[in-house]
Amino acid sequence: RDLWSEVNHLLVGFGQQVCLPVGPKCGGCLNRFICPFSSSYNPSEKSKIKINSG
């Protein structure tokens, strides 16, 4: 319970930046391999994000 506020803040930010209700950015999401939605979602080129490998 001590971390609820911090975890909530992180999840809200995740929802605003990556896991959007319209046009989610599944291609760059670290949870894409465990997310049931990601495997059924076929993103357009616009919604893909680059992953910085550096």
Q: What is the pLDDT along the chain (54 residues), one digit of tens a residue?
A: 899 999 999 999 998 999 888 888 888 888 889 988 887 776 555 545 566 665
Q: Say if CB 43 and CB 27 are below 8 A apart.
A: yes
Q: Say if CB 47 and CB 24 are below 8 A apart.
A: yes
Please report the pLDDT score of residue 53 as a whole number.
62
Please report the pLDDT score of residue 8 as a whole number.
95
Buried b (16+ CB within 10 A) or exposed e, 20-41: eeeebbbbbbeebeeeeebeee
Please report the pLDDT score of residue 6 as a whole number.
94
In three-state secondary structure terms, 34 is: coil
Please report the pLDDT score of residue 22 as a whole number.
86
Q: For the chain, give every domain's residue range.
A: 4-41
